A and B are shown apart, each in its own frame.
Chain A
Amino acid sequence: MKVEKVTSKLYFIQRISILIGVILLFIPAINPSRISGLIGKNLSIFTSGFFYSRLTQNFGRAFSKGWVGTMTTQILFISSMIVCIGFIICAAGGCLSPGCLKMKRHGNILSIIGTITALIGAYGIRWAQIDIKGTSNPDKVQPMESNSLLIFAVLAILILLTSILLFILLPKPDKNEKYEMETKYKLFLLILPFLILCFVFSYLPLFGWRYAFFDYKAGDNISMDNFVGFKWFTYLFENKATRADIVRVLKNTLAMSGLGLATSWCAMAFAIFLCEIKNLRIRRFIQTITTIPNFISWVLVFAVAFAIFSTDGFLSSILIQMGVIDNGVNYLMSNNHMWLKMLAWGMWKGLGWSAIIYVAAISGIDQQLYEAATVDGAGRFQRMWHITVPSLLPTFLVLLVMAVAGILSNGMDQYLVFENSYNTDTVMVLDLYVYKLGINNGKIPLATVVGMAKSIISIILLFGANKVSKMIRGNSII
């Protein structure tokens, strides 16, 4: 009984250390193989261990002048790879640990092998570290020593110790024992790689919110020296220029989302009137054609706009032929009614598609209702208003509530492609603003603050929408 308690605790330590070790492999801030300032800040030990060209990207001059020998970098490269492989072997060992005694034993052996491999690699990196210190030009090569190697070494030793202890403590399995694992753990191990992927691409970015609290420029490191607290949050409102920007951007965002909301009934009307066309073949045809624009990208929508409305496009040449104008006019280069134009393009792209759901809902309405109404003398529009619309209303309301939740997220594609120097003031929406601010102008902390605020407001709106939907039709949308 006591032994079991000890082993379960040891396993806990072992698994956590393996997990941390494997995650650290992918984090550039903790890269022990960054032994010189010439090695990029964005390289993790995994990248530097498997892509030699990325590791030595900036070493061209150092090699040719003889400041650093190729031997050093090669050893660094191979050692980094060995460290990675070691931790991956440990991970495999850790994965075997939920199995039967035999699997546990093999898992521990694997972990021991993995940690020893990793320690050998760590020694290689240490060797390269010392070697690069002896460079003839320390100003350019900037030899570095970081604690990250120590972190990896400590993790490896921790795993090694726990594995050895577990190896000793656990009873020896029968020779005839089969490789078996409880199904619940087997299934978990099968799904684990995908959980990790999900974590890396959806949860890890949340960690980037910390940039909002630092004075960060691209390529810098984050340290306590440039911690600025809530400076960027107040800056957003205190700086006149950014405040004006934010107000304008919010106005555009809300105006365009608002127009979208105000016209969201159009899809329902489209579906109702489409169903008034009794010839099935024509109806089918219309539905097919009108849904096509939904499947082309906004860039292609812009290509279409370009073909129709640019200087030598369709509209200009028709108007020239009719003698209305003398020279071609580029209608895309204007700032008139941008909000309405954007709405129109959105309708062109999405109306047919959003109608499909209503068309399906209409075909589900009981035909007897219509027959009864006709007998009672209801006209076409009365039937629409009193039968069709009420039956579509729940669907409509739920979609509307969802749209309200997404009021700040217009997406940036549409506005990015249609934006130009004439209309930038009126099409700049929040998503596009964050992109321009962060990626084009390099104001990463400020853009992060704006994005953060947007994300938080959006999620609050979503929960609100969920509540409303629960009230309307009794089930939640999330």
Chain B
Amino acid sequence: MGRQTKKEKLEKKLEMNYEKKHKRRFKMTWKDLIFEIINHSFFFIFTLACIFPFYYIFINTVSDNDLVRKGAINFIPQGFHIKNYLALANVNDLITSLTVTVSRTLIGTVLMVAVSGFVGYLVTKKEMWGRKIWYRFIVVTMYFNAGLIPWYINMSMLGLTDNFLAYIIPGIVAPYNIILVKTYIESIPAELEESAQIDGASYMKVFRTIIWPLSKPILATIAIFGAVGNWNSFTDSLILMPNAPQLHTLQHKLYSYLNAATNLKGVMSSGGSSVSGSALNNILNAKTIKYTISMVTIIPILLVYPFMQRYFEKGIMLGAVKG
């Protein structure tokens, strides 16, 4: 693995050197220059538009709260402090919904990946009774949808309203991911598996010792997509948990905070904190608390994203060549 990345780096370096040399030889006309400037500035502005809001929210959460209230913090942070983040412990139910979101992300993703891997392996087995029918039975569900209301009634019939399991169980069988895994496993040389089967290994053993380790790249890809999806989930919490505020996901909580009244009382629990209401108002205000909660919700994705980008890209490419 290490060697490969080294090789890749070397290739990149060579490519870049080549381009540098090329550029020196390449004569730039004024037309090209204008194009380069316009092109670069367009992308500069678009990139800025993509990143600036996050930066803006961030500096407003760590700057002096009085200045933030006045709207003075627009580009440069002033009066650095992290009180806002510490104050989140007093925000109603925030810790519970964080726990709910984190646990559903972990449990849901692990189960989804394990099942996608296993089912993806099983549907490659031509000797299975009715394999084609069962594979289609799963895949077809991607293309039709009974609609929101029948789905909701079905969930409530199954007792999955106001129930944490509603976050986990429906996501276990993910047809699209099963297709991706199946396609990947089919590309693994069959000899590897056959040799193990000749040695008398069972299907489970072959899956555990050969298929699972070999398909790690695709499993990582679907894991990341699954985790992001779980982290971002909002509709299921909104629709299925009307009477269980302790089960609301972080996104749902953020949504209700953003729409809540502008006074702090709507957001903060007054009983638990040792500071009185007015004193609290001096250090914090509703705006910064809203920003801070937004930041807490965004940060995991911002942190994970740059490292996982190649997996994300692999995901979209796999989706494109699927067939």
Please list the residues of chain A having a beta carbon within 8 angstroms of any beta carbon in chain B.
Answer: 26-28, 42-44, 46-47, 51, 54, 183-188, 190-191, 194-195, 197-209, 211, 273-274, 276-281, 285-286, 288-293, 295-300, 302-304, 306-308, 312, 314, 316-318, 320-321, 328, 348, 351-353, 356-357, 360, 380, 395, 412-413, 416-417, 431, 434-435, 438-439, 444, 447-448, 451-452, 454-455, 458-459, 462, 475, 478
Contacts and interface: CB of A to CB of B under 8 A. Distances in A.
Contacts, number: 255
B138 A205 contact: no
Contacts of A276: 35, 39
| Chain A interface, >50% SS class | helix
A47 B155 CA distance: 13
Interface in B159-186: 159, 161, 169-170, 172-173, 175
B42 interface: yes
B80 interface: no
Contacts of B74: 314, 317-318, 321
B153 A412 contact: no
Contacts of A328: 71
A289 B57 contact: no
Interface in B167-214: 169-170, 172-173, 175, 203
Given A293-B50, A295-B301, A209 B150 contact: yes
B1 interface: no
B149 A438 contact: yes
Contacts of B228: 295
B141 interface: yes
A285 B44 CA distance: 10
Contact of B129 (A47, A185, A320): A185
Contacts of A320: 71
Given A292-B50, A299-B255, A205 B154 contact: yes
Interface stretch (B2-10, B86-94, B270-278, B308-316): B308-316
A103 to B, nearest CB: 16
B30 interface: no
Given A280-B16, A293-B50, A462-B143, A195 B56 contact: no
Given A183-B127, A307-B53, A312-B71, A438 B148 contact: yes
Contacts of B53: 304, 307-308, 314
A187 B128 contact: yes
B23 interface: yes
Contact of A299 (B15, B128, B145, B251): B251
Contacts of A186: 203
A458 B145 CA distance: 9
